Structure 1
Amino acid sequence: MADDDMPVIDPAGPRLVYVVVADHIQGQIESGKLPPGSRLMGELEMAAAYGIARMTVARAVRELRDRGLVITVRGKGTFVAEPDQS
């Protein structure tokens, strides 16, 4: 992830930090930068990249799972889900 692609994260701002991160990753998925099947960075790497706590990253990933955009495979990582074929 290039630094110029990173969102501005304002912990004192009105938007929840995990939502800002989830929205940013969703945008990368929708733009094709993260195609189906691609692996997201690990939580520690993502926390360092965004400059946020690991638990905030975990909450952002949970939000993406709730949106149906990613799947997490224990021991392997989190991957962009295939588009819904229904």
Structure 2
Amino acid sequence: MSATPLYVQLADMVARKIKSGELAPDRPIPSENHLADEYGVARLTARRAAQELRERGLIVTVRGKGSFVVKQPPAESLGIQPTT
């Protein structure tokens, strides 16, 4: 079992998609419900992952519209947390 919390692992997966360009700047990321369904986690876990991505400066959330990849994420925020 990993010592890294599940929400951090999910945030890292989304961060990898941002870094690879699969999730492009100014484009929406999947909703919390979609992330929860896609990765088989609770919606609360998806919500915490989105909060983690906001804290890293990778996404912004617009109330009523969703969360979007920022145009230019801070270089250090694209670093992925190591999993053990």
Task: Note the aligned Cα RMSD (angstroms).
Answer: 1.4
Q: In structure 2, the residue corresponding to 1:72 is in which secondary structure?
A: strand
Letter paired with 1:72: T
Give the TM-score normalised by structure 2.
0.82
Partners of 1:22 and 1:33 lie apart in 2 by 14
Give the TM-score normalised by structure 1.
0.81
Q: In structure 1, the residue corresponding to 2:9 is in which secondary structure?
A: helix
Q: Tell me how far 1:15 sits from its aligned partner.
A: 1.4
Q: Tell me how far 1:84 sits from its aligned partner.
A: 5.1
Structure 1 residue runs of 4 or more that deviate by more than 4 Å after TM superposition: none
Larger Rg: 1
Taking only the aligned residue pairs, the percentage that are identical comes to: 43
Alignment of 1:60-71 (within 5 A): 60-71=49-60
Structure 1 regions of 5+ residues with no counterpart? 1-11
* Equivalent position to 1:41, from 8, 14, 30: 30
Q: Tell me how far 1:46 sits from its aligned partner.
A: 1.1
Q: Tell me how far 1:36 sits from its aligned partner.
A: 0.3
Structure 2 regions of 5+ residues with no counterpart? 75-84
Letter paired with 1:24: M
- Alignment: residue pair count: 74
